[in-house]
Amino acid sequence: MATGLQRTFGTPTNNKIFTLSLWLKRAADNLGNTISLLTGGGSSRPSSEFVLNSEALALSQYDGLDYNYNVRAYYYARDVSAWYHIVYTFDSTQATASDRVKFYMNGVLQNYNMQNTDYPSLNYVPAMNNATNHAIGGNVYSGFSANAKCIMSHIHFIDGTAYDASAFGETDATTGEWKIKTSPSVTYGNNGFFILKDGNSVTDQSGNGNNWTVGGGTLTKTEDCPDNVFATLNPLDYSPNPATLQNGNTTYNKSSTGSGHNASMTGTLGAMTGKWYFEFKPTNTSSFVTGMIRTNHDLPNSQGYYATDAGCYAIANGSKIVGGSEQSQTVSYSANDIFGMAYDLDNGKFYFHVNGTYINSGDPTSGSTGTGSLGDIALGSNIYVPFVSNANYDQTNLIYFNFGNGYFGTTAVSSAGTNASGIGIFEHDCPNGYTALSTKGLNL
């Protein structure tokens, strides 16, 4: 979601009580910015805002001169590989001031690390949840301004009831992790709504018909969701002068050149066993290296070129890299061709295709015989993750990855291939027995 949504509310059930619940995954190129999760008010102040910034959850109302209330709880939501469940409640009818505004993060009430505690007064009527303009991912005052660069899912607004986080999520009995309730049992009230349920639809699923409109851009659908998290590139594991990550950390944009600018980066999910498939699309023919690498690679972050690590298995333009050794390999491709990477970590083999044709007449389903395999992968205790690097630091690169989300950047696959596991959407056929690197894929 790199845009904002807009709607004008009607007469509320109770303008002193409401709840907002949503799931959010952050983008690496927006960690330092504030995301307006929900704002309400007119084209000028006052306006009420639920926000998430680089270090806090906050609810405030500003009238242009001063804050009518301002409550903030420190929370460093900076893990770009994780989905966060955020719940805000407002209930100014509560006699105890600290009960009037509450924040929950992944099911936990955030009442222990408060930055501001300027609570609204008893029975205060805010600008939010009144018959005024409202926005998700942007501000309503001084003209609409979108500021959301993230992924959002399952957005609920409740008019007239202050629910805690357990209404929308629960602890998994097996893993102990906080997980989504995809169809919570709640009473929405007049202005209540439920959007972004199973995709990028802003049509209200609550039954109220409180639909939203998209302003300031378009919404891109993603398979990545709270109950199936897909691999992305990892901004926390990189060599010096990293590339910029965009589009939910699936676009690698190396715009600088010079020494130390190989900009090696790994992925967020990996595996020791199993059969895995992903795709990428280089937008030019500049030097690149893409494949998988062991997580315990022995090259420090001070070295820009990870492809020489003994645990690297990749394609490097017209060559292949097997165990960190570059070897001759005939590969013909053009800018915007689609590469498919198939890694068999059960049999220690790897394959790749260009636009659906496997190099060396490779057969990823050949098992231990490894027909057309590009080399033998050292198994054992190694965990392998996706990997990308610039092979020549004097080149720039823009590479789109599809780890199963069904998009290259913001462009959907043109005709999805077959996929026996049903996990992820790819341009070309996902080989039988292979699947996307995702939390569901890892648990097959």
- Tens of pLDDT, residue by residue over 312-341, are 999 987 789 999 999 988 888 999 999 999
What CATH architecture is 233-442? Sandwich (2.60)
**Of 373 and 237, more confident:** 373
**Of 187 and 296, more confident:** 187
Other Cβ atoms within 10 Å of 171 Cβ, number = 13
Query: Does pLDDT of 183 surpass 80?
Result: yes
Q: Please, are residues 313 and 297 in contact by the beta-carbon 8 Å criterion?
A: no
Residue 35 and residue 280: Cα distance in Å, rounded? Answer: 29
Q: Which stretches of 178-227 are assigned E, i.e. beta strand?
A: 178-180, 193-195, 213-215
Residue 336 and residue 386: Cα distance in Å, rounded? Answer: 20
Q: Quick one: 221 exposed, middle or buried, by C-beta within 10 A (0-12, 13-18, 19+)?
A: middle
Query: Helix, strand, coil shares of the chain as percentages rounded to 5?
Result: 5, 40, 55
DSSP at 157: E
Average pLDDT of the segment spanning 381-392: 91
- Residue corresponding to tokens 């699936």: 250
The domain made up of 4-215 has a fold known as: Jelly Rolls (2.60.120)
Q: pTM of the prediction? A: 0.89
Task: Identify the H or E element spanning 58.
Answer: strand 56-62
Query: Does pLDDT of 199 surpass 70?
Result: yes
Residue 388 and residue 402: Cα distance in Å, rounded? Answer: 13
Other Cβ atoms within 10 Å of 260 Cβ, number = 14
Query: Same topology for domains 4-215 and 233-442, yes or no?
Result: yes
What percent of the chain has pLDDT above 70? Answer: 95
Residue 50 and residue 136: Cα distance in Å, rounded? Answer: 9
Going from N- to C-terminal start, the domains of the chain cover 4-215, 233-442
Average pLDDT of the segment spanning 206-216: 91
Average pLDDT of the segment spanning 343-371: 97
Res 74: pLDDT: 84
Residue 58 and residue 200: Cα distance in Å, rounded? Answer: 26
> Which of helix, strand or coil describes residue 369?
helix
